[in-house]
């Protein structure tokens, strides 16, 4: 979507109702009236020291330059190894991966990787060598394709037009956890998804502000924004101030929520595919990835479903928010009368899209559409009774 | 500040101020009122500015503050004045319709997107102008684009 064009066309129609001279005349008149109504001011008329306009030039450093970090290159080894190491299983986060790259000012520390046949998560931190927090992130928000490079002691997202790399910026979020000492740690979480030659990679950057208090965190636009009025959920998970609980889902950890549910989805959108049978819901710690696996054969063969959320929580409760929509689809289908029914009889709308990965692999994504925009949707996974797709109900086995 | 300098700044930035104001108040008459107040404030402002960029950022901040004051002080008209509506050409209709969709976003998203895509500000420049952290601006841009895209598609404007 061409946002440049949208905004240029739309706002070009909005012009001041008066011309510059009229505006100036009106302002001068009003200023004159004001001065007549007030005591004479000291003559301290503002002087605008007009200097050459400071233009922040667009960066021209190419990816892969000496100062740049090319994530294609950085993660190349993992991309290669993924086929062997990550096939047929969902791996636990491999925290033994110790890998550091650095330049003069920054150090990227890879803390662990985890992944599946189609997904890989690389969790890493970028730290300044002088020990100061990395606070001077400078970002562009590209439409697609970008890599992280460093220039002038600033981290910047750079565009790349390599068609093989598709990226969707997941945005920047503030998250906080309560550490083992009971202190709040605030993370600035940068996330991005890469589709590289049909495989999807997710990169998270966490920027830690250990000095921040919970009140600081509240002030930052997480809780003050109506979009994320999830304070209630937050307290339910982590406890109120003064009653700090340690999250039982460690960040970067992967865990099985403990569901062994089975149901069959008629995959009539792609007739050549076999019917799907869900075997297990597995969720990584952050973000939640729930794989509805196919017929006990693992997720490698054929299609599988993904529900993506952003947080897992205690008690098997799944919190799904807008982050679930990050998976884009190249092929989408209209669905009507499609929802999840919980055991209490309530229906929760879902949106289903199908991603055509490489022409042979299809992926069915189930999204809780209620959660788009402003609502935070909480669904107890244990309570799911059935899926209804296009009016056809598939109860859990 | 003399009249000549004021005229120069109005010529340079009246569009910007008008657009930012419009993002908040959603109608041109109020946007125009806000704009005049902002330039009046500029004219009577007693401190000096470092450069034009400094003035520009100051204008954006003051515009937003004025708009918030206006919105909180009285009920804003939500209708388009007749004389304004009559002036909308057929060619402009689609742009105005798209603009109406943009106006359904939250003001903070509208302003961030406008400054990024129309004014060509970088994230850091927007952050400075709005007195926000860069991360907040990045989030606004990301969420704003996402919501706008969904709204435009929903309204049938998927040809952009």
Each residue of B28-63: pLDDT tens digit? 777 888 888 888 888 887 767 777 877 888 888 788
> In the predicted model, is pLDDT for residue A330 greater than 80?
no
Backbone angles phi, psi at A331, to 5 degrees: -130, 130
- Cα A19 to chain centroid, rounded: 44
Choose among B36, B99, B158: nearest Cβ to A10. B99
Closest-CA distance, A261 to chain B, in angstroms, reads: 33
Query: What pLDDT is recorded for position A27?
Result: 82
* Element (DSSP H or E) covering residue A257: strand A254-259
Residues 65-104 of B with CB under 8 A from A: 88, 92, 95-96, 98-99, 102
Pairing of strands A165-178, A254-259: unpaired
Query: What pLDDT is recorded for position A166?
Result: 31
**Percent of residues, chain A, with pLDDT higher than 90:** 0
Cα–Cα distance, B28 to B15 (Å, whole number):
12
Greater confidence (A136 vs A390) lies with A390
Quick one: closest CA in B to A31, which residue? B40
Please name which of B149, B95, B142 lies closest in space to residue A7, comparing C-alpha atoms. Answer: B95
Q: How confident is the model at residue A113 (pLDDT cuts 50, 70, 90)?
A: very low
A283 Cβ partners below 8 Å, 6+ apart? Answer: A254, A255, A256, A257, A289, A290, A309, A312, A318
Quick one: closest CA in B to A326, which residue? B146
Does B155 contact A at CB distance below 8 Å? no
Please name which of A81, A90, A160 lies closest in space to residue A119, comparing C-alpha atoms. Answer: A90
Cα–Cα distance, A365 to A277 (Å, whole number):
14
Pairing of strands A119-128, A106-115: antiparallel
Choose among B14, B118, B138: nearest Cβ to A11. B118
C-beta separation of B131 from A21 below 8 A: no
Residues of B in contact with A13 (CB under 8 A): 88, 92, 95-96, 99
Check B135 against A137: CB less than 8 A apart: yes
pTM of the model: 0.36
Task: Give the mean model confidence (pLDDT) for residues A206-214.
Answer: 38
Does B12 contact A at CB distance below 8 Å? no
Query: What pLDDT is recorded for position A21?
Result: 80
Burial degree of A345 (CB within 10 A; 0-12, 13-18, 19+): exposed
Give the Å distances, CA to CA, from B151 to A4, A37, B100, B139.
16, 49, 11, 18
Q: Output the average pLDDT for chain A.
A: 39
Does B18 contact A at CB distance below 8 Å? yes
Task: Give the mean model confidence (pLDDT) for residues A367-394.
Answer: 46
pLDDT digits (tens, 9 = 90+) for B115-140: 888 888 888 788 777 767 777 787 78
Task: Give the mean model confidence (pLDDT) for residues A118-136.
Answer: 42
Query: What pLDDT is recorded for position B96?
Result: 61
Check B32 against A16: CB less than 8 A apart: yes
Closest-CA distance, B127 to chain A, in angstroms, reads: 10
Choose among B7, B9, B158: nearest Cβ to A21. B7
C-beta separation of B13 from A15 below 8 A: no
Greater confidence (A340 vs A156) lies with A340
Check A18 against B134: CB less than 8 A apart: no
Quick one: closest CA in B to A47, which residue? B48
Closest-CA distance, B77 to chain A, in angstroms, reads: 17
Lowest mean pLDDT of A46-55, A344-353, A370-379, name the range. Answer: A46-55
Give chain B's end-to-end CA distance (angstroms, integer): 43
Q: Enter the tokens of residue B138.
A: 């990045």
A-B CB pairs within 8 A amount to: 176
Backbone angles phi, psi at A290, to 5 degrees: -115, 120
């Amino acid at each position: 979507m061409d946002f440049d064009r949208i905004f240029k066309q739309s706002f070009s129609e909005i012009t001041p109702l008066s011309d510059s001279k009229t505006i100036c005349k009106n302002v001068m008149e009003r200023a004159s009236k004001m001065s007549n109504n007030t005591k004479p001011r000291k003559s301290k008329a503002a002087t605008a020291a007009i200097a050459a306009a400071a233009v922040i030039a667009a960066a021209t450093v190419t990816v892969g330059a000496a100062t740049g970090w090319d994530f294609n290159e950085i993660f190349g080894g993992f991309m290669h190894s993924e086929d062997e190491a990550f096939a047929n299983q969902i791996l636990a986060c491999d925290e033994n991966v110790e890998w550091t790259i650095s330049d003069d000012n920054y150090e990227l520390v890879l803390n662990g990787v985890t992944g599946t046949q189609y997904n890989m998560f690389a969790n890493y931190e970028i730290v300044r060598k002088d020990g100061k927090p990395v606070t001077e992130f400078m970002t562009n928000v590209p439409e697609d394709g970008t890599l992280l490079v460093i220039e002038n002691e600033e981290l910047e997202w750079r565009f790349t037009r390599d068609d093989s790399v598709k990226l969707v910026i997941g945005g920047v979020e503030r998250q906080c956890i309560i550490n083992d000492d009971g202190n709040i740690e605030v993370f600035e979480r940068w996330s991005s998804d890469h589709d590289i030659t049909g495989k999807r990679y997710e990169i998270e950057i966490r920027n830690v502000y250990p000095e921040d208090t919970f009140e600081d965190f509240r002030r930052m636009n997480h809780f003050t924004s109506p979009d994320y009025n999830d304070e209630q959920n937050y307290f339910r998970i982590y406890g109120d101030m003064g009653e700090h609980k340690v999250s039982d889902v460690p960040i970067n950890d992967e865990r099985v929520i403990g569901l062994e549910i089975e149901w069959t989805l008629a995959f009539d959108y792609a007739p050549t595919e076999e019917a799907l049978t869900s075997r297990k819901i597995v969720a990584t710690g952050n973000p939640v990835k729930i794989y509805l696996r196919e017929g006990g054969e693992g997720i490698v063969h054929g299609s599988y479903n993904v529900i993506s959320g952003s947080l897992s929580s205690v008690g098997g409760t799944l919190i799904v928010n807008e982050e679930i929509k990050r998976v884009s689809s190249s092929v989408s289908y209209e669905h009507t009368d499609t929802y999840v029914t919980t055991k209490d009889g309530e229906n929760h709308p879902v949106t289903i899209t199908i991603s055509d990965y490489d022409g042979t692999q299809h992926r069915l994504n189930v999204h809780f559409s209620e959660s788009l925009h402003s609502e935070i949707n909480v669904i107890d996974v244990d309570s799911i009774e059935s899926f209804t797709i296009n009016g056809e109900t598939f109860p859990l086995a | 500040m003399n009249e000549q300098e004021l005229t120069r700044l109005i010529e340079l930035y009246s569009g910007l101020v008008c657009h930012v104001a419009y993002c908040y108040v959603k109608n041109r008459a109020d946007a125009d009122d806000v704009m005049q107040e902002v330039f009046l404030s500029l004219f009577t402002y007693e401190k000096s500015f470092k450069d034009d960029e400094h003035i520009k950022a100051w204008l954006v901040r003051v515009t937003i503050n004025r708009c918030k004051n206006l919105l909180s002080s009285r009920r804003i008209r939500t209708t388009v004045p007749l004389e304004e509506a009559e002036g909308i050409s057929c060619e402009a209709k689609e742009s105005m319709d798209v603009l109406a969709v943009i106006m359904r976003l939250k003001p903070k998203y509208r302003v961030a997107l406008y400054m990024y895509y129309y004014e060509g500000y970088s994230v850091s420049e927007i952050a400075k102008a709005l007195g926000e952290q860069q991360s907040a601006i990045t989030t606004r841009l990301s969420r704003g684009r996402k919501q706008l895209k969904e709204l435009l598609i929903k309204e049938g404007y998927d040809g952009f």
